[in-house]
Structure 1
Amino acid sequence: MLIGGLPAHILLVHGVVVFGPLAGLAAVVYGLAGRTRRYLAWPLGVLALILAPMALITAQAGEQLQATRGATDAIQAHARQGDILKIAAVVFFVVVVLLLAATFAPLAERIPALVSLQRSRPARIAALTLGVLAGLFVIYQSVITGHSGSFSVWGG
């Protein structure tokens, strides 16, 4: 898969490198700073929605690149980290959906079934905690995957 004559993975990876940590940071701030929630809810949802398919497409492009170029030990290590990030991005999206369902009041106004979820303090606390942890993990995994990828190219 090529974009402008370059392997697609090389171009797509920049989106994951930007959206992964940004989405993770948004989830952490959303979970820890209550007064920011009304401002961060939509951006967080959009970032998570962009990150999940972008991570899947980038991983697919990376697998195709690996198949055409071969795999050193460093590339195989990067592929393993990419597989973890791919799963983490999808799980992160699900967690963000649950987080917003449990904490963002305008969403409950549109979906009446969420009112009881938002009224449950333990559910809100669990969702916020899970959101912060998922955000931290997405940041960590984005950095580790990006580092292993750059090492596989520039590490010598």
Structure 2
Amino acid sequence: MSLNVVNGLPAHVLIVHFVVVLVPLSALAVVVGAMWPGAARRMGMVLPLLALVTLASVPLATQAGEWLEKHVDSNALVRRHTELGDGMLPWAVGLFVLATLIWWTNRGPASAGAAHGERTRRASSRSALVVRILAAVLAVGVASGAVVEVYRIGDSGAKAAWHDGFSKTTTSHKGDEGDNG
């Protein structure tokens, strides 16, 4: 099944809004979950589900965009947007993997491991701290990369869609003058 046109509009211009909203939202949730285990526990399954919906929206937008590319005049701006768009999927996969790992490692109660001896607990808490720091660094890196990539793709898409598509000066339309007097 191919979703190419919705209510007379190319589906890409509609679906892309899911990506534009969900990628930064997922990125923020992943970073917060990685840095604040309590928040990760409160988010629970919502964290990986949000990232999964984000991940699913990327190929939908890409597929709809590939259809649209065949139905518009090709130029350097359209080709650049298409090239950049193809690079979003790895970032969405990274967000999903991190969201799932953060959820998985924080799904139990905060006092897990209390039955261990003191030495084991100290070693465990040190290794947990190292893992949390690594997860936070990875989360910030992947989240930043994903958000920057969404911005770059969106900017190139806007340039491709709107170059020479509007007047830089105000145009007068019949009825715009109004009755001010």
TM-score normalised per structure 2: 0.71
- Alignment length (residue pairs): 146
Match of 2:169 in 1: none
Identity %: 32
Give the superposition deviation at 1:12: 0.4
Match of 1:87 in 2: 90
Unmatched tracts of structure 2, length 5 or more:
113-123, 165-181
- More helix per residue: 1
Match of 1:2 in 2: 5
Once the two structures are superposed, residues 56-108 of structure 1 have per-residue CA deviations (whole angstroms, 9 ceiling, x without a partner) of: 111011011102224211111111211111221122212221222233326xx
Alpha-carbon contact 1:78-1:145 (below 8 Å) kept: yes
TM-score normalised per structure 1: 0.81
Alpha-carbon contact 2:30-2:98 (below 8 Å) kept: no
Mapped to 1, the partners of 2:40 and 2:14 lie a distance apart of: 32
Mapped to 1, the partners of 2:40 and 2:148 lie a distance apart of: 23
Larger Rg, first or second structure (1 or 2): 2
Pairwise CA RMSD of aligned residues?
A: 2.2
Once the two structures are superposed, residues 6-33 of structure 1 have per-residue CA deviations (whole angstroms, 9 ceiling, x without a partner) of: 1110110111111111111111222233
Match of 2:156 in 1: 148
Match of 2:56 in 1: 53
Structure 1 pair 124–101 and aligned structure 2 pair: CA distance change class (3 A): farther
Structure 1 pair 80–87 and aligned structure 2 pair: CA distance change class (3 A): same
Q: What letter matches 2:161 in structure 1?
A: V
Unmatched tracts of structure 1, length 5 or more:
110-117
